[in-house]
Amino acid sequence: MAITYHDLYLKTRMALSSAGIEAAQLEAREILCAAAEKTAEELYRDISLYTTDAIAEKTEALQARRLAGEPIAYLLGEWSFCGLPFFVSPAALIPRVDTEMLAQLAMNRLKEHPGHTRILDLCAGTGCVGLTAAALLKNTRAVLVDLSDGALDLCKRNIRRHKLTGRAVSLKGDALQAPSHALGQFDVLVCNPPYIPTGDLAALDTSVKDFEPLLALDGGEDGLDFYRGITELWQPALKPGGHLLYEVGIGQAEKVAWLLVKAGYENIRITRDTGGIDRVVEGQRPKEREIPDMLHETMEEDV
Ligand code: GLN
């Protein structure tokens, strides 16, 4: 039976809100746009027209996946971070609003370094943090490192999406192993590692624990494995005076700050996210050991 976009929208919205989905209005619109391959503007323009059976079926299929708990971002295949669109897939965490503070502070620190700058995004996932910096700061080059092939695939797609092939690369690497010298040194090392204590994983929301990758969430017994490993092993990848910035989970900021103090970092700072949670812990590698200029130049040639 022929049905208009408007009727299909109302039907979808009703199904989502009866299932307790808070943003039913917004999600119904996004599902319809994805099924019909229309922008929101095109959907509003065509709202009183008849849709096709294929679009109605596609809408129902997406709605069923959503009702089974799958995050809307995975249904859509993309999500926005710091106002920029990023491809997403179940191979990487969906970019969180909380993480925008990490990207913002990383960009602030990059701006403190004169001339061309390099940022390393470790455990990059979609690459949203490093690529936001490269997209918004034209003098910045980004290296995205992740252990997961699926995440690296997303990084590559996001690099191309933002036309950053000249200034960003993705590489396979393990954050818990010492970095290769070939990476050179960076002005900023930014990392949103897995930080949920293993024992807390079972209590996460269904949409997180059943759909997002465990590899990106499990931070070991106390959730701090990656902070310990990276703080100990990755300092050589920072230029003297370079900044290390971590996103941390609730209640972890002070412990992570101590790890930085013990490793000799200076100017330790803790910053809250917009929800009032201590979210970013950062420190600066001491400046005193200057690297000869010649060495700087060779290192800056590789991205
Ligand atoms: N913030 C994420 C969550 O609470 C976890 C992110 C992470 O482990 N890096 O689901």
The CA distance from 158 to 292, in Å, is: 35
| Residue 4 · residue 51 · CB < 8 Å | yes
Give the pLDDT score at 124. Answer: 98
User: Does residue 303 surpass a pLDDT of 70?
Assistant: no
User: Does residue 6 surpass a pLDDT of 70?
Assistant: yes
**Token reading at 130:** 């490093």
| Residue 263 · residue 282 · CB < 8 Å | no
User: Does residue 293 surpass a pLDDT of 80?
Assistant: no
Q: Fill in the amino acid letter for 276.
A: G
Give the pLDDT score at 185. Answer: 97
Output the CA 248–ligand 1 centroid distance in Å: 8
Atom of ligand 1 nearest to the CA of 192: 9
Output the CA 217–ligand 1 centroid distance in Å: 6
Q: How confident is the model at residue 261 (pLDDT cuts 50, 70, 90)?
A: very high
Best residue among 192, 207, 277, 281 to mutate for probing ligand 1, ranked by most atoms within 8 Å of CB: 192
Atom of ligand 1 nearest to the CA of 194: 8
User: Per the annotation, does 193 bind a ligand?
Assistant: yes
The CA distance from 252 to 256, in Å, is: 6
* Closest to 162 measured CA to CA, from 86, 101, 248, 232: 86
Question: Top-level CATH class of 79-284?
Answer: alpha beta
Give the lowest-confidence range in 116-125, 225-234, 282-291.
282-291
Output the CA 165–ligand 1 centroid distance in Å: 28
184: left (phi over 0), alpha (psi -120 to 50) or beta: left
What are the pLDDT digits (tens) for 170-219? 999 999 999 999 999 999 999 999 999 999 999 999 899 999 999 999 99
Nearest-CA residue for ligand 1 atom 10 is 208
User: Per the annotation, does 158 bind a ligand?
Assistant: no
User: Per the annotation, does 146 bind a ligand?
Assistant: yes
Instruction: Sketch the domain layout of the chain as residue ranges.
Output: 5-68, 79-284
When pLDDT is averaged across residues 35-39 and rounded to a whole number, the result is 96
Output the CA 119–ligand 1 centroid distance in Å: 22
Residues with CB under 6 A from ligand 1: 93, 96, 192-196, 208, 217
When pLDDT is averaged across residues 23-37 and rounded to a whole number, the result is 96
Output the CA 260–ligand 1 centroid distance in Å: 21
